[in-house]
């Protein structure tokens, strides 16, 4: 039985299959040994977001283990998407953490290469560099399908996983061939979350090309958006975050607004509704590292639980 024919392993997988417009978001584990405050801040997302990413050493800085944080979220009824980066662990440690996720019942994963340690607060750190994200996808795929580690060692127990990957949307030129996305599909990816793309014309052209190439039909794509709190923040994101797409019109709206934070939330709500109407887009991924407390308001304001994605 193929993974597409098997019963959904998570609410996220069920939603992706159902045709609902899926909205995910993310939280960063604390620099703390007590998770009470972290859980309290995450709880408003319960019942609003389909699933919530738990970042793994975001910004190449030390935080509480994403596996541990995801476990506590699951215990509190919030479905996590465990982010795992290849930066900090070799393949043995990564496989151990995959087994740990399976044992804890954490089924959604987003597998990433990770930010360079040179960007963090301990720049002398050496990256593991043993695998890239596609290599880790392939290992996770074998573990869940064959119930075996790469040497052939049998894995006992429930190995179901829902595997995610990342992408950077572009305004596709005529000859565009997304080789990286194709490779991630072949490696086992079940869904994709993208970098910020706040330009809906580019999102339409990106999605249309993925449909033309038969990719969007096989791989649900969630477009990254943000409730940007100010024009200054928008300019910084556009200049400093690789692959970020923010149109000048949005920056101008934020600059002109009497309350830029409220305008940023309003813009994000508008974008969520627009994305739901674009064929080939399965949902959105809201990232708000500067002002995460506004995300529940944005999701509720867009009434995302009532949104259906556009028919393909």
How many whole angstroms separate alpha carbon 256 and alpha carbon 297? 22
How many whole angstroms from its chain centre is CA 98?
A: 17
Domain 22-167 and domain 179-312 have a common topology: yes
Band the pLDDT of 1: cuts 50, 70, 90. very low
Q: Which residues contact 246 (CB under 8 A, 6 or more apart)?
A: 196, 198, 199, 228, 234, 237, 238
The CATH number assigned to the domain with range 179-312 reads 3.20.20.220
Q: Where are the domains of the chain?
A: 22-167, 179-312
Q: Which fold has domain 22-167?
A: TIM Barrel (3.20.20)
pLDDT higher for 291 or 268? 268
Tens digit of pLDDT for each residue in 91-130? 999 999 999 999 999 999 999 998 888 888 889 888 888 9
Those residues with Cβ within 8 angstroms of residue 176's Cβ, 6 or more apart along the chain or in another chain: 170, 209
- Report which of residues 60 and 146 the model is more confident about: 146
d(CA 48, CA 303): 9
Instruction: Give this prediction's pTM.
Output: 0.95
* Tens digits of residue pLDDT in 232-281: 999 999 999 999 999 999 999 999 999 999 999 999 999 999 999 999 99
- Residue 139 neighbours by CB distance under 10 Å: 20
Q: pLDDT digits over 14-25, tens only?
A: 999 998 999 999
Whole-number mean pLDDT of the chain? 94
CA distance 242 to 219: 23
pLDDT greater than 70 at residue 5: no
Residues paired with 85 in a beta bridge: 112
Q: Give Cα 112 distance to the centre of its chain.
A: 10
């Amino acid at each position: 039985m193929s993974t597409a024919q098997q019963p959904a392993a998570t609410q996220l997988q069920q939603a992706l299959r159902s045709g609902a417009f899926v909205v995910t978001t993310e939280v960063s584990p604390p620099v703390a040994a007590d998770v009470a405050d972290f859980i309290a801040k995450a709880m408003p997302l319960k019942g609003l977001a389909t699933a919530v990413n738990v970042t793994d050493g975001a910004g190449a800085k030390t935080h509480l283990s994403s596996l541990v944080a995801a476990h506590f979220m699951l215990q509190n009824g919030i479905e996590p998407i465990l982010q795992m980066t290849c930066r900090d662990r070799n393949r043995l440690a990564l496989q151990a953490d995959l087994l740990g996720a399976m044992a804890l019942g954490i089924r959604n994963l987003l597998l990433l290469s990770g930010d360079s340690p040179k960007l963090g607060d301990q720049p002398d750190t050496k990256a593991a560099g043993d695998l890239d994200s596609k290599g880790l996808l392939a290992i996770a795929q074998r573990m869940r399908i064959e119930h075996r580690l790469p040497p052939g060692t049998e894995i006992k127990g429930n190995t179901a996983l829902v595997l995610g990957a990342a992408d950077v949307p572009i305004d596709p030129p005529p000859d565009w061939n997304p080789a990286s996305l194709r490779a991630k599909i072949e490696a086992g990816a079940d869904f994709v979350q993208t970098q910020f793309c706040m330009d809906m014309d580019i999102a339409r052209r990106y999605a249309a090309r993925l449909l033309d190439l038969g990719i969007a039909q096989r791989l649900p794509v969630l477009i990254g958006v943000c409730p940007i709190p100010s024009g200054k923040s928008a300019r910084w994101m556009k200049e400093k975050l690789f692959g970020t797409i923010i149109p000048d019109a949005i920056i101008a709206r934020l600059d002109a607004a009497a309350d830029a934070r409220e305008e940023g939330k309003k813009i994000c709500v508008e974008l969520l509704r627009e994305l739901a109407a674009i064929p080939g887009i399965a949902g959105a991924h809201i990232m708000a590292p500067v002002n995460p407390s506004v995300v529940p308001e944005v999701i509720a304001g867009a009434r995302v639980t009532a949104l259906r994605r556009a028919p393909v």
